[in-house]
Structure 1
Amino acid sequence: MVSRLGGFGLLAAWGVAMIALSYYVFRRQGVDDTEEFITAGGRAQVGLTTASFAVTWMWAGDILGVPQYVGITGVAGIWMYAAPAVLSSFVVIPFALRMRRLFPQGLTYSEYFIERFDKRAHLVVVLVILYTMVLGGVIQLFVGGAVIGGLTGIDPNVVMAILMGVIGVYILLGGLWGSMTTDFVQFVSALVLTLVFVPLLLFEVGGPGAVYDQMVANLGSKSSAFLSLANFDAIEGLFLPYALGLGVWGVVSLATWQRVFAVRRDRTSRFLTIGGIGVFTTIAMYSIIGFVGLAAFTDVSPGNLSIEALGLLPDWAAVVFLLVALMVLGSSVDSYLTAIASLTSRDIYYRHVDTEASDDQQLRVARGASVGFAVIIFAATVFALGSISFVQLLLIGGIGASALVGPFALSLFWRKTAGTAFVAGVVVSQLVTAFLLAASYDVVVTSPDLKLWEIMAVGHLVSTGLTAGISAVSPDDFRFESIAQEGSAMATDGGRRASGGDRE
């Protein structure tokens, strides 16, 4: 445990460092227009973008989620958690390559739907992305309150208020440049967390052999199942809903797409692949926290396994661990807040409120949204912290993907996909899954009462089937080559065109 005073000191040090770094980036990169704020001008280096993507995808939630999966189902919890997370980064690749070829001038991928269909389809997509990004921010902030509050004794709500306040300020300053630059520092911190503190925890309690022996002794008759990769007892409760939701969540995550548009097009698949591999590495290491918890405790619930196990670190290590954990926590929340700011400015304000808005007006809206939604995410997390478990929140977080992935794929690769069909598929799917989800939590009374993975499967089938079916009956005949704008300031490789026609 770290003292409350030490905890506040760490929060203050982290906040000052992140805001100072973002201010430096703001001055150095000249973040004074909407394009720089939203996409880093399309000129971010692949190393910076890869680190930012990887650390964003190394969810802060992994610190709680992976040990909890291990606490529920043992060794099999590693692949049940890791496989969908890694799959998500690879599934994005064909979407990203196709999008960068069709829509090189894009600032947000959601604007593609105006070019492909119309404002109705765009608005539907915006609403799905908006609550998906807010929910993603809630998941990450939830972890901050639980982990930092649990190890310092500070009220989790106070921790979350400080975290959200600091992140809101540095995104207000630097936009995506601020997010990616602080992400790079946070990426290095995530590596330290993975390669230093997790092994330190393991050896602090006696090393691999002692942990194994004590875990077997504590588990008793359950040890054979918990030590088997083929333990499928929790596959319906843990793996399938994660695979059907968060396993394809990267396709609809605006935080992912901001980084896709920020890197050169010819480096797209490279940074997504490297990021996916990095995610698997961290997940495998975080599972050790769960094994240590199973070896050290016999009366701790899986949901509290991570906090209790991390409490075994020596005091000096706990202090440094918390500072590193703050870095990892910030990397995810700032990405979602940046995405929401760009969505509010470009997709809501510019596209639906004031189509004549100047760049300065759009930038002001983006910065205002970074503050406003910081408050909204904080309020939603305070509510979630007292009413739902972390794994429930994590799995529900993927529900929006079930409505959008199939119709999005059809719109990119099938020219006959119709706008009316797209809207119907997304809207009906979300209504159906919302009703079934409410029934599963007894908010409404209905039958049958479906499992979460079944609800997500229904969402995918309804959205994709309805879009394909209506399009087959009343097809469009869209010319994909009509999307890319000739003479766009954004070159097809993601760089910018010089005034003389040569690329910089």
Structure 2
Amino acid sequence: MSILTPTSGFILLGLFGIAAVVMALSLTRNTDGNVEDLLVARGSSPVPIIVVSLIATWLWSTTLMGAAEGGVGFGVSAAWVYPFTVPFSVVILGPVLSKIRRNFPEVSSFPEYIRYRFSSYGDSVHKLFTGIGIVQSFFWAVIQIIGAGFVLNVIFGIPNWQGSILTGLIITSYITLGGLRASIFTDFIQMLAIGVILAVIVPWTVIAAGGPATVYEGLAAADLPSAHHLVTDTAIFGFLLVSFPGVISYALINQNVWQRVIASEEVGSERYVLGMSGLLWVAIPAAASLVGLVGLSIGYTGNPATVMPGVIEAILPAWGAVLFGIVVLGAIFSTADSCLNSLSTILISDVYKPYFGSEEEIRTDSSLVFKTKIVMAIIGVIMSLMGTMQVSLLFFSLAVTALIMPVTWPMAMSALHPNFNLKWGAYAVFIGVPASFVFAFLPVAGIWNAPFDPWMGYLIPNAITIGLPIIGTMLYPDTEFNFGQMESMINAETAQYAGGDD
């Protein structure tokens, strides 16, 4: 009797859900009971747990299934293209986040930093950053739920829509109950299990396919030209130059990363947390791409987005496929719950607090917690329903990532350079966001058949949002601004309820 049945899949989902809900309830028994603690859990978690949780957050459906999709679509070069992006973004942009957290520890989100930094320019820039943050967190959660539907369908035969909706509802239930604390500690436990299982499954898959030599011979004979080459034109122009400009922004314009850095109990540990997480993360997409290479070598002809579960289900025994299901569900849960929590944080810190509520209410009004949980539940249900779509995980994620490019560079420069020209930075954002939507998002999402290669479309908004602020700052430096002014503004708003200056 096969264990790869819909019933087995439902049981596995149920066990995930029960364990996560129990952990969420136990972790929140002795918390402060306010919205600030629910969503931010500021300074609550040891650095090693934050490091592992951040790896789990970066380990999403695209890291596994998208990297494998890259392997079957681009050959051996995919084994280094995808793993290269996030660590490089940490090297470039990690110091920016570190500086912001050390100098302004009461900031809760990247749009909130922009609200203070661009305060003299009005609310328009802050509102645009907030909109980007909401869209990013929402659709990245949707991508995870789509991935869950794929895996549960391929391995257990559960209809896509049922697997996606159930996964989304389970995630919504425990993150609504436990907030960021539940997300961090469930990530930690899931990541330990995922690491062990992946270390077994990937080599096992290669060996079951005939070993490295057989896989290499299959790649050399594959229909994809130069699939066995480490560097190819197709991989550079079709994968690296499309993924790199967007993913490089990941470490900074990602509320999931901010949440975990803020939750670290040690101010000043930011570079270590980001650097160690990025370094340890590299092995995971590299290993996942190997499964895609196995699929290419054996002539896999199914949906490229499902090559990883398809290959494993085809060549490993049933319990090997079940182990893979545990890995992917754990990865998906860890990222989707973070996205739901991040979206809720932005809604509270950047929509409710500045325009409808107050810092005092967020810090002291326990009734706001219930209202926040209701909003989280509604958003989670909407995410679950949208997760029933069937699209390419790799290119859907690249399309969403395209939207964050225009806000990355002005933010980074505003944190590093006190003479940054706010007006030219605002121009860059307001021109760059539509440019990114037209030239990068629409072509990669398959909505517009553009007359240029995708990497060219990614180059345009980056050139705008890097060039304009640099030119404006060189010609008209804002010598009147200093970061002490910004710190005073933040302290004036938060000190009364956060225990004074940090």
The TM-score normalised by the length of structure 2 is 0.89
Matched residue, 1:296:
298
Q: Which amino acid aligns with 2:88?
A: L
Matched residue, 1:170:
174
Alignment check: 8 A CA contact 1:87 1:247 kept: yes
SS at the partner of 1:113? Answer: helix
Once the two structures are superposed, what CA deviation does each residue of 1:8-27 show, in whole Å capped at 9, x if it has no partner? 11111111111111111111
Q: How does 1:357-368 map to 2 (within 5 A)?
A: 358-359=361-362, 360=365, 362-368=368-374
Matched residue, 2:375:
369
- 1:288–1:489 Cα change, 3 Å: farther
CA distance in 2, matches of 1:197, 1:155: 25
My pick for the range that moved more, 469-478 or 105-114, is 469-478
Q: Which amino acid aligns with 2:11?
A: G
Q: How does 1:440-459 map to 2 (within 5 A)?
A: 440=443, 449-459=451-461
Q: Which amino acid aligns with 1:371?
A: A
- Following superposition, the deviation at residue 475 of structure 1 comes to 4.6
CA distance in 2, matches of 1:462, 1:434: 13
Q: How does 1:315-334 map to 2 (within 5 A)?
A: 315-334=318-337
- 1:174–1:382 Cα change, 3 Å: same
My pick for the range that moved more, 51-60 or 473-482, is 473-482
5+ residue gaps, structure 2, are: none
- Following superposition, the deviation at residue 207 of structure 1 comes to 3.1
Alignment check: 8 A CA contact 2:439 2:460 kept: no
5+ residue gaps, structure 1, are: none
Alignment check: 8 A CA contact 1:340 1:369 kept: no
- 1:194–1:121 Cα change, 3 Å: same
The TM-score normalised by the length of structure 1 is 0.89
Alignment check: 8 A CA contact 1:192 1:324 kept: no
CA distance in 1, matches of 2:191, 2:14: 20
Give yes or no for the alignment of 1:394 onto 2:397: yes
CA distance in 2, matches of 1:246, 1:100: 21
Matched residue, 1:379:
385
Matched residue, 1:67:
68
Q: Which amino acid aligns with 1:256?
A: V
Alignment check: 8 A CA contact 2:246 2:398 kept: yes
Q: Which amino acid aligns with 2:237?
A: E
- Following superposition, the deviation at residue 156 of structure 1 comes to 1.1
- 1:489–1:163 Cα change, 3 Å: farther
Q: Which amino acid aligns with 2:258?
A: W
Q: Which amino acid aligns with 2:369?
A: L
- Following superposition, the deviation at residue 380 of structure 1 comes to 3.1
Give yes or no for the alignment of 1:130 onto 2:119: no
CA distance in 2, matches of 1:355, 1:316: 53
Give yes or no for the alignment of 1:146 onto 2:150: yes
Matched residue, 2:200:
196
Matched residue, 2:316:
313
Q: Which amino acid aligns with 2:482?
A: R
Once the two structures are superposed, what CA deviation does each residue of 1:164-201 show, in whole Å capped at 9, x if it has no partner? 11111111111110100110111112202321222222
Q: Match for 1:286 among 271, 288, 299?
A: 288
- 1:5–1:203 Cα change, 3 Å: same
- Following superposition, the deviation at residue 338 of structure 1 comes to 0.7
- 1:356–1:43 Cα change, 3 Å: closer
Once the two structures are superposed, what CA deviation does each residue of 1:331-375 show, in whole Å capped at 9, x if it has no partner? 010111110011111111011222366133553443233212212
CA distance in 2, matches of 1:93, 1:378: 32
CA distance in 1, matches of 2:448, 2:261: 40
CA distance in 1, matches of 2:53, 2:129: 24
CA distance in 2, matches of 1:195, 1:400: 34
Q: Match for 1:186 among 170, 190, 200?
A: 190
- 1:152–1:304 Cα change, 3 Å: same
Q: Percent identity?
A: 23
- Following superposition, the deviation at residue 253 of structure 1 comes to 0.3
Alignment check: 8 A CA contact 2:89 2:249 kept: yes
SS at the partner of 2:48? Answer: helix
State the superposition RMSD in angstroms: 2.8
Q: Match for 1:19 among 12, 18, 21?
A: 21
CA distance in 2, matches of 1:382, 1:221: 31
CA distance in 2, matches of 1:294, 1:435: 33
- Following superposition, the deviation at residue 486 of structure 1 comes to 9.7
Alignment check: 8 A CA contact 2:116 2:490 kept: no
Equivalent pairs counted in the alignment come to 489
Once the two structures are superposed, what CA deviation does each residue of 1:208-247 show, in whole Å capped at 9, x if it has no partner? 344334444x42794xx22221223232111111000012
SS at the partner of 1:226? Answer: coil
- 1:192–1:450 Cα change, 3 Å: same
SS at the partner of 1:249? Answer: coil
Q: How does 1:93-132 map to 2 (within 5 A)?
A: 93-118=94-119, 119-132=123-136
My pick for the range that moved more, 337-346 or 421-430, is 421-430
